[in-house]
Amino acid sequence: MGRRNRVGIIYWHGDTGSHQVALTFDDGPNEPYTSQILDILDEYAVKATFFMVGRNVENFPQTARKVRQAGHVIGNHTYSHRGPILNTPSRVANEISKAGEVIRKVTSVSPYLFRPPYGAVGPRVLKQVERLGYVVSQWSVNAGDWMGAGPHKIKKRVLSQVEDGAIILMHDGRNLSPGHDRSSTVAALPEIILSLRDKGYELVTLPRLLKLGPLNDKKIS
Ligand SMILES: [Zn+2]
Q: Is residue 149 part of a domain?
A: yes
Residue 167 CA, ligand 1 centroid: distance in Å: 15
Has residue 180 been placed in a domain? yes
Predicted pLDDT at 221: 33
Catalytic residue among 26, 27, 145, 172: 26
Q: Is residue 217 part of a domain?
A: no
Number of domains in the chain: 1
Q: Are 160 and 131 in contact (CB under 8 A)?
A: no
Residue 219 in domain:
no
Q: Tell me how far apart the 2 most distant CA atoms of the chain are, in Å.
A: 47
Domain, as residue range, for 101: 3-210
Please tell me the pTM assigned to this model: 0.93
Render the burial of 143-172: b for 16+ CB within 10 Å, e for the rest.
bbbbeebebebbbbbbeeebeebbbbbbbb
For the question of residue 72 being annotated catalytic, the response is: no
pLDDT digit string (tens) for 183-208? Answer: 999 999 999 999 999 999 999 999 99
pLDDT tens digits, 132-175: 999 999 999 999 998 888 999 999 999 999 999 999 999 999 98
Task: Please indicate, yes or no, if residue 94 is contained in any of the structural domains.
Answer: yes
- Residue 54: which of 22, 34, 29 has the closest Cα? 29
Within a domain: 216 = no
Q: Identify the active-site residue in 13, 72, 77, 171.
A: 171
CATH of the domain at 126: 3.20.20.370
Told to judge if 171 belongs to the known catalytic residues of this protein, a careful annotator would answer: yes
